[in-house]
Amino acid sequence: MEYRRLTGIILTLALTIVFANPGFAQQKPQGQTPEGKAPESSSIFVVGKIEYQQSEGGYFIRGDHPYGKIFRIANQNSEILEPLLKTGDKHVNIEGRLTQGTNILFIEKIWGKAYLGKP
């Protein structure tokens, strides 16, 4: 008799847990929209210097605004970025999209002019 009572209690608890929490197994992963796509990237305005270092993945921006932040350039075009690199301490105004949660910048404009980078 004690065995049946213990089995009944265990089954009751198991069923209560299963039916009381149906949404836990179906939660969407954080950082995704309901369609399962990654969230949109955010627009950003950066003032900084163009620099190049192979270990950083090529060209990157050392920001003065926001200060001290380093942005890797996703759409690098050496024909445009090389002359800006050679100007030395000259700071450039860059508009682009920052991939959420990373420091990867997709440049859209430099000095207000459209930037044609290579993805």
Is the distance from CB of 73 to CB of 105 less than 8 angstroms? yes
Helix (H) / strand (E) containing 66: none
**Position 33 pLDDT exceeds 50:** no
Domain carrying residue 81: 42-114
pLDDT digits (tens, 9 = 90+) for 48-92: 999 899 887 899 999 888 888 999 999 999 898 998 888 776 789
CB atoms within 10 A of CB 8: 10
**Position 40 pLDDT exceeds 90:** no
Q: Is the residue at 99 inside a domain?
A: yes
**Position 39 pLDDT exceeds 70:** no
Q: Is the residue at 96 inside a domain?
A: yes
State what percent of residues in the chain have pLDDT above 70: 76
User: In this structure, what CATH number is given to the domain that contains residue 92?
Assistant: 2.40.50.500
Q: Is the residue at 84 inside a domain?
A: yes
Which tokens in the block code for residue 87? 């100007």
Q: Is the residue at 46 inside a domain?
A: yes
Q: Is the residue at 61 inside a domain?
A: yes
Q: Is the residue at 1 inside a domain?
A: no
**Position 46 pLDDT exceeds 90:** yes
CB atoms within 10 A of CB 50: 22
The C-alpha atoms of residue 60 and residue 105 are separated, in whole angstroms, by 9
**How many domains, the chain?**
1
Per-residue pLDDT, 5: 85
The C-alpha atoms of residue 17 and residue 32 are separated, in whole angstroms, by 27
